[in-house]
Amino acid sequence: MNQSSLAFLAEASLYERVLNDLAYIWKLCAGLSMGLKYTLGLFFITAVLSLPFGLALALLRNSRVRGMRGAVNFYVWLLRGTPLLLQLFFVYFGLPNLPFVGKYLVFSRFPAACIAFVLNYAAYFCEIFRGGLLSVDIGQHEAARVLGLSRAHTLFRVVMPQMLRISLPAISNECITLVKDTALVISISVTEVLFFAKNAVNRDVNATAYGVAAVFFLLMNVVLTYLFRYLEKRTAF
């Protein structure tokens, strides 16, 4: 067999190998996409619930009622000071074992994950919004008072729009972290993207699935990054 024939066979073999690899990656994409409903579902549920909850906590933390401030401070300290994974285990495994009330606190995997994530991220958003509130110039409050605006009007029409604009970069960063943190629910066997990737790696003894999972998370974060950049431009003065 001459040299040209050998080169042709090598090229054909390489082409076939590439096609097989692409077919395998496509198969992995189809498999991992089955977990997107839980990954995206957990992200959206957490964001939709924890943002207003965090805002309410931030407003309560600035309350004149000392006991209320103390309760919110303790909540934020506890949730920010312990690992999210530990909180996830506590909600799923720990709550059902509480005396007297445990039998009423039994949750399936996905609802337990949603509860743990909402409670955790609300504490972080509380701090973000509190920082935004403190960043609004005190002169804005004084000007609103001179104009005769009530405390509620001052808060919702003057302070909060500025606070949200100031807080957007931090909210963006926290939402990107949230996308990555959704992978933690594999610890309680929620069938999200990383769950299917791990199963594929164990089945095929091939780590390619982890690379495909990484691409999934990167693409989700690219979309979020551009969304928040758009919002920042729209709200810029």
Ordered by start, the domain boundaries in the chain are 21-235
Q: Tell me, what's the pLDDT at 10? A: 55
- Distance, in Å, from the CA atom of 103 to the CA atom of 207, rounded to the nearest integer, reads 41
> Which pLDDT does position 142 carry in this prediction?
74
Residues of the chain where predicted confidence (pLDDT) is lower than 50: 6, 8-9
* Predicted local distance difference test score (pLDDT) of residue 109: 95
∠ CA 18-22-25 to the nearest 5 degrees?
140
pTM recorded for the entire structure: 0.90
Q: What is the pLDDT of residue 4?
A: 59
Fold observed for domain 21-235:
MetI-like fold (1.10.3720)
- DSSP conformational letter for 191: -
- Round to the nearest angstrom and report the end-to-end CA distance of the chain: 74
pLDDT at 2: 53
Q: Which amino acid is at 176?
A: I
DSSP label of 94: I
- How far does Cα 113 stand from its chain's mean position? 12
What pLDDT, on a 0 to 100 scale, did the predictor assign at position 8? 47
